[in-house]
Amino acid sequence: MSEVNKILVVRNDKIGDFVLALPAIQAIKNAFPDATLIALVPDYTKDIAQSFAWIDDIIVDPKDPKNKKALVTELKKHKFDAVICLFSDTYNATVVRQAKIPVRVAPSTKWVQFLYTHTLSQRRSKSLKPEFEYNLDLAHYFIEVLGGKTQKAMLPMFSYASEELTKQLNKLHAIGISIDRKLCFVHPVTGGSSNTLTQDQWVQLIVFLDRLDCFHFVITAGPGESPVSQALVSALQGVVSHVSLYDKNDGIADFMRSIATADLFVAGSTGPLHIAGSMDVPTIGFYPSKRSAKPLRWKTLNSEGRWLPFTTIDPGSSLTDLDVTNLFEEIKVWYTNL
Instruction: Tell me, yes or no, whether 68 and 174 share the same domain.
Output: no
Do the beta carbons of residue 157 and residue 23 sit within 8 Å?
Answer: yes
How many helices (DSSP H) and strands (DSSP E) are in the chain? 12, 12
Residues above pLDDT 90, as percent of the chain = 83
Question: Residues with Cβ < 8 Å from 223, sequence gap 6 or more?
Answer: none
Between CA 47 and CA 256 the distance in angstroms is: 9
pLDDT score of 193 more than 50: no
Q: Which among 63, 61, 53 has a CA at the least distance from the CA of 22?
A: 53
How far apart CA 80 and CA 242 sit, in angstroms, is: 52
Strand partners, 40: 10, 59
Under 8 Å CB-to-CB from 220, ≥6 apart: which residues?
185, 186, 187, 229, 246, 247, 255, 272
CA distances from 275 to 20, 22, 155, 216, 248 (A): 9, 11, 13, 20, 17
Task: Name the band, by pLDDT with cuts 50, 70 and 90, for residue 63.
Answer: confident
Instruction: Answer whether residue 61 shows pLDDT above 80.
Output: yes
Boundary of a domain, candidates 116, 145, 174: 145
pLDDT of res. 66:
87
Q: Judge whether 155 lies within some domain.
A: no
Eight-class DSSP state of 84 = E
For residue 284, CA distances in Å to 100, 158, 169, 185, 324 come to 44, 19, 22, 10, 12
Q: What pLDDT was estimated at residue 313?
A: 79
Residue type, position 316, single letter: G
**231 plus 301 within the same structural domain:** yes
- 74 and 116 within one domain: yes
| DSSP characters over 124-187 | GGG--S-HHHHHHHHHHHHHHHTT-------S-S----HHHHHHHHHHHHHTT--TTSEEEEEE
Percent of the chain with pLDDT over 70: 97
Q: SS3 string of 163-179? A: HHHHHHHHHHHHCCCCC
Residue 237's beta-bridge partner residues? 240
Per-residue pLDDT, 288: 84
Instruction: Confirm whether 1 is domain-assigned.
Output: no
Give the span between the Cα atoms of 176 and 158, in whole angstroms: 26
pLDDT at 95 over 70: yes
The residue with greater pLDDT, 320 or 60, is 60
- Does residue 300 sit within a domain? yes
The pLDDT tens digits for 196-239 are 899 999 999 999 999 999 999 999 998 889 999 999 999 999 99
Quick check: is 152 in a domain? no
Contacts (Cβ under 8 Å, ≥6 apart) of 120: 105, 106, 107, 108, 137, 138, 141
299 shares a domain with 202 = yes
Average pLDDT of the residues in 300-313: 94
pLDDT of res. 194: 54
The CATH number for 296's domain is 3.40.50.2000
* CA–CA dist 205, 115 (Å, integer): 49
* Mean confidence (pLDDT) of the chain: 93
Pair 173, 89 in one domain = no
Query: Looking at per-residue confidence, does 38 or 159 come out higher?
Result: 38
- Are 203 and 122 members of one domain? no
Higher per-residue confidence, 299 vs 63: 299
Entry pTM: 0.94
Question: Does one domain contain both 231 and 321?
Answer: yes
Number of domains in the chain: 2
122 in Cβ contact with 108 (< 8 Å): yes
Assess whether pLDDT exceeds 70 at residue 9: yes
Residue 157, domain member (yes or no): no
Examine residue 156 and state whether it is found in any structural domain, yes or no. no
Same domain, yes or no: 69 and 181? no
- Is position 259 within any domain? yes
pLDDT for 192 equals 52
Residue 130 and residue 167 in one domain: no
Asked if the model's pLDDT at residue 332 lies above 70, the reply is yes
Amino acid at 172: L
- What value does the mean pLDDT take over residues 132-145? 96
Residue 156 confidence (pLDDT): 79
Same domain for 238 and 172?
yes
Kindly report, residue by residue over 150-166, the tens digit of the pLDDT: 987 777 799 999 999 99
Q: What is the DSSP letter of 66?
A: G
Indicate whether 53 pLDDT > 70. Answer: yes
- Residues 176, 282: one domain? yes
Last residue of a domain, one of 145, 172, 189: 145
DSSP state, residue 123: -
Domain extent, residue 324, equals 162-336
Angle at 97 between CA 91 and CA 102, to 5 degrees: 145
Verify that 202 and 326 share a domain, yes or no.
yes
Question: Which of the 8 DSSP states describes residue 238?
Answer: T
Least confident of 28-32, 111-115, 278-282, 315-319: 315-319
